[in-house]
């Protein structure tokens, strides 16, 4: 449960990659803080509507962020990958994957380009380098630069 889970469903081993848990915990803490601020504002008279709306915005923002980090995952099995995001789930066989672009920076972004579209994941995922290497190997792509 550290971001890389190995499960067996129907005799087929599966690896599950998730974002780091600290991200979801941080979003939950920030959301609770802003919820507390919003509730606290009701104790005062004459607070402008803009202030309530601002605090409400941050409550919603951190709730959406928590949902994103809590729901997002990439499952790798012997036939391909399943990328589950906040709203949609996409399935790619290894034959569908055409390229894996790596965009380095403070947060590394990995873009998986396939025949049916693209998905991405970042270095916020636990074991993201292993996931990238696994995708390159199983999809038969050229090796990642060192």
SS3 34: helix
Does 11 lie in the same domain as 25?
no
77 domain-assigned: yes
Domains contained in the chain, number: 2
Contact 56, 31 (CB under 8 A): no
Specify the DSSP class assigned to residue 94. Answer: T
pLDDT score at 40:
96
Does 76 lie in the same domain as 135?
yes
pTM to 2 decimal places: 0.80
Question: pLDDT tens per residue, the chain (146 residues)?
Answer: 444 555 555 556 789 999 999 999 999 999 999 999 999 999 999 999 999 999 999 999 999 999 999 999 999 999 999 999 989 999 999 999 999 999 999 999 999 998 888 999 999 999 999 999 999 999 988 776 65
Query: 117 exposed, middle or buried (CB, 10 Å; 0-12, 13-18, 19+)?
Result: exposed
pLDDT score at 98:
92
Does 131 lie in the same domain as 60?
no
pLDDT score at 1:
43
């Amino acid at each position: 449960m550290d971001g890389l889970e190995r499960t067996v469903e129907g005799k087929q081993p599966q690896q599950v990659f998730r974002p780091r848990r600290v991200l979801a915990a941080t979003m939950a803490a920030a959301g609770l803080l802003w919820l507390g601020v919003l509730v606290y504002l009701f104790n005062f008279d004459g607070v402008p509507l803009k202030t309530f709306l601002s605090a409400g915005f941050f409550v919603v923002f951190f709730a959406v962020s928590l949902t994103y980090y809590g729901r997002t995952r990439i499952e790798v099995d012997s036939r391909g990958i399943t990328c589950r995001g906040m709203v949609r789930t996409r399935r790619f066989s290894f034959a569908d994957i055409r390229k894996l672009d790596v965009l380095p920076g403070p947060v590394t972004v990995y873009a998986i380009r396939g025949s049916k579209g693209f998905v991405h994941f970042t270095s916020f995922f636990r074991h993201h380098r292993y996931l990238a290497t696994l995708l390159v190997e199983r999809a038969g792509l050229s090796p990642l630069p060192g």
